[in-house]
Amino acid sequence: MAVATGLRLWRPASNPFRWIGDHVPRWLDEAEGHELVSLARALYAPLDVGRELLVHGDFHHHNILHSARGPVAIDPKPMLGEPEFDVPSFLWNPIGYRMRRDVTEQRLAAFAAAGLDDERMRIWSVVRGACLGADATESAVLRGLV
């Protein structure tokens, strides 16, 4: 359901939406001291970040709901970027779920099968994990992805 919802959301867009590339360096600066920051910076530095598609910005289990028309995504934090940016928040949800490597790999494989770039999802997972303060268990899983 999440993959199908994302594929409907990720559409070409431009102004007035903010570009994620203008924010990630600051987010990493604010996360300085987190165990993933140095790895996240190294992975992010050579990344040519997309800016042509609208991304949800907070794409996770609690923001994907069933409706009479099918699944819908609520509570967007819309930005310009690339779909792979949206996948990481889906990896460590729903609330109460403890991230595991096998489940994470299954989720990544489902998005990759729909056409998302596997390597970019993994890079964004580490970057967003650093920015969002992944705990020690999550950090270990994220390190294992790259």
Per the document, the length of the chain is 146
Distance CA 47, CA 25 (A): 12
pLDDT at 127: 98
**Could you tell me the residue range of the domain that residue 95 belongs to?**
2-145
83 cis-preceded (ω within 30 degrees of 0): no
pLDDT of res. 12? 97
Q: Would you call 117 exposed, middle or buried from its count of C-beta atoms within 10 A (0-12, 13-18, 19+)?
A: middle
Instruction: Name the domain count of the chain.
Output: 1
pLDDT value at residue 142: 98
Residues in the chain, pLDDT under 70: none
pLDDT score at 70: 86
What are the pLDDT digits (tens) for 23-63? 999 999 999 999 999 999 999 999 999 999 999 999 999 99
Q: What CATH number did the domain enclosing 125 receive?
A: 3.90.1200
> What is the gyration radius of the CA atoms in the chain, in angstroms?
14
